[in-house]
Amino acid sequence: MEKFISVFDMFKIGVGPSSSHTLGPWLAALHCLNHIDDLNDLQKVEKIQIKLYGSLAKTGKGHGTDIAVVMGILGADPTTIKTDLISNLMDDVKKQQSISLKYKKQIPFNYDVDIVFLKDQSLPHHPNGLKFLITINGVEKVFTYFSIGGGFIEFEAEEATASDAGSKLNLEVPFDFYTTNELLHWCMKTGMNISDIVRENEKTNLEEAILNEKLDAIWNTMLSCIYKGCKTEGVLPGGLQVRRRAYDLNNQLIQHASYNNMDEWKNLLVKGGHDFSYILDCVSCFALAVNEENASFGRVVTAPTNGAAGVIPAVLLYAQLFCNKNKPSEIRQFIMTASAIGVLFKSGATISAAMGGCQAEIGVSSAMAAAALTELLGGNQKQCLMAAEIAMEHHLGLTCDPVGGLVQIPCIERNTMGAIKAITAAQLALQSKPDFAVVSLDKVIKTMWNTALDMNVKYKETADGGLAVQIPIALAEC
């Protein structure tokens, strides 16, 4: 039986800049240390070394994989850690040449030696592999993990096959679906919207009030991220000297008016009007803000990944400010519909750029946002699926080529494109009759997966092709 993928697997609160290279390795380190702690072996640990393979090795420096595994070993929770503490914690570990395992046991740790970037080696199961070599009472044990995209991780015990270590649920849900046909079957049979199907499934595991609370926490984190990104000026870390643009754009949009809180800020944006180019600028500003925060190790939500974290918040805030869809129930509806589309892509293809390039990140986020916006604007279930299909169709083949191995160029701007395409796809679907559509969402998911298989490895989050080699920056120096 396939494991149930919850809304809260698709949308995870964490830390930037990458769900597969930062959040996944962080969760892997936490899982590994918790596992040893559960066996009562933590106090017996003498040494720890981390080996990073494939894409994690090639772009891990720029994506903060080294920082993530250190934070995980310290036992820091990515959902709650104060993100402005991370750089000091990292400096302490480097200076003191020691590390505290979950703040329970201090051992020697040399950052330069004990985190190994094996750029020429890959593990067979997935390009994002990492191993924790842990010496316990003189015996070295190896714990292998794979970060498979969107913060999902798999754990491979010695001699065993990989199993899902991140998502935990083997739930029997009323409306199990992994393909578009299965989802549509439940929608047609029950007459429920996609978001209703998701809600009923989630209620198998969560009381409704808690479900709503958790959905609200997802949106509040996304909104705070937009707000913070709009209020923060400066240059992004990493050495590329990329200037933050959301700050200036936001100031232009609100005509440099002052505001004291989020509500005042949102009112100023709405007062700016409904002119096409103004709304376009707003959507771009929201997406830029999220991804500039993401690039600065800020708090973001995987949607479905960190690199693509700006698309869904930008489209959802657009729906609230410019389409009057601002009731809490509508915000929750949007998140649940988006999640269902993410599940279809995760099940039928991939949400990992190391497997499928940027079509798996920005393409999937755009499809998720398109379907969710369509439902919110009154589209039927088939129109929602059509919107997702249109959004992905025009991201097929999109490569991942981050300059300097950083999640900045082209990633930040690419989120603005994903958001705008999602809105266009929703509008097109709302004006269409899906029964006459030639391409189904399942077909486009299959095409995306086949394209991923055909794609040269240099376009899969390795920074070995595309823009990354036109603007060569020494990865290690960034």
400: left (phi over 0), alpha (psi -120 to 50) or beta: beta
Helix (H, G, I), strand (E, B) or coil at 337: helix
Using the rule CB under 6 A, which residue among 27, 215, 340, 353 binds ligand SF4?
353
The answer to whether the beta carbons of residues 118 and 133 sit under 8 Å apart is: no
Q: Sign of the CA dihedral 96, 102, 107, 112?
A: negative
Among 184, 197, 178, smallest CA distance to 437 is for 184
Among 300, 279, 346, smallest CA distance to 7 is for 346
Residue type, 163: S
The two tokens of residue 107 are 């051992």
How far apart (Å, rounded) are the C-alpha atoms in residues 192 and 428? 22
Distinct helix (H) and strand (E) counts, the chain: 20, 10
- Residues 5-24 binding ligand SF4 (CB under 6 A) are none
Binding track, positions 277-316, relative to ligand SF4; x by CB under 6 A: ------------------------------xx--------
Give yes or no for residue 403 binding ligand SF4 (CB under 6 A).
no
Count of alpha carbons within 13 angstroms of residue 408, beta-carbon side: 26
Using CB under 6 A, which of the segments 135-143, 171-179, 217-225, 409-417 binds ligand SF4?
409-417
Give yes or no for residue 149 binding ligand SF4 (CB under 6 A).
no
Give yes or no for residue 402 binding ligand SF4 (CB under 6 A).
yes
Give yes or no for residue 411 binding ligand SF4 (CB under 6 A).
yes
Using the rule CB under 6 A, which residue among 341, 351, 400, 419 binds ligand SF4?
400
Return the percent helix, strand and coil in the chain, to nearest 5.
55, 10, 30
In whole angstroms, the minimum distance from the beta carbon of 363 to ligand SF4 comes to 9
In whole angstroms, the minimum distance from the beta carbon of 5 to ligand SF4 comes to 20
In whole angstroms, the minimum distance from the beta carbon of 214 to ligand SF4 comes to 26
Using the rule CB under 6 A, which residue among 362, 387, 390, 417 binds ligand SF4?
362
The answer to whether the beta carbons of residues 350 and 356 sit under 8 Å apart is: yes
Using CB under 6 A, which of the segments 119-127, 221-229, 364-372, 399-407 binds ligand SF4?
399-407
Using CB under 6 A, which of the segments 109-117, 142-150, 243-251, 402-410 binds ligand SF4?
402-410
Q: How many residues bind ligand SF4 (CB under 6 A)?
A: 13
Using the rule CB under 6 A, which residue among 377, 407, 444, 475 binds ligand SF4?
407
Beta bridge partners of 142: 133
The answer to whether the beta carbons of residues 173 and 201 sit under 8 Å apart is: yes
Task: Give the torsion through C-alpha atoms of 331, 337, 343, 346, to 10 deg.
Answer: -80
Q: What does residue 48 show for φ and ψ, rounded to 5 degrees?
A: -140, 135
Binding track, positions 47-66, relative to ligand SF4; x by CB under 6 A: --------------------
The two tokens of residue 381 are 């279930």
Using CB under 6 A, which of the segments 205-213, 229-237, 353-361, 421-429 binds ligand SF4?
353-361
Using CB under 6 A, which of the segments 91-99, 167-175, 231-239, 355-363 binds ligand SF4?
355-363
Give yes or no for residue 410 binding ligand SF4 (CB under 6 A).
yes
Of 242 and 358, CB closest to ligand SF4:
358
How far apart (Å, rounded) are the C-alpha atoms in residues 456 and 52? 21
Give yes or no for residue 414 binding ligand SF4 (CB under 6 A).
yes
Give yes or no for residue 86 binding ligand SF4 (CB under 6 A).
no
Of 59 and 195, CB closest to ligand SF4:
59
How far apart (Å, rounded) are the C-alpha atoms in residues 49 and 104? 18
The answer to whether the beta carbons of residues 283 and 277 sit under 8 Å apart is: no
Among 268, 267, 264, smallest CA distance to 253 is for 268
In whole angstroms, the minimum distance from the beta carbon of 114 to ligand SF4 comes to 26
In whole angstroms, the minimum distance from the beta carbon of 409 to ligand SF4 comes to 8
Using CB under 6 A, which of the segments 1-9, 38-46, 282-290, 410-418 binds ligand SF4?
410-418
Residues in touch with ligand SF4 (CB under 6 A):
307-308, 353, 358, 361-362, 400, 402, 407, 410-411, 414, 461
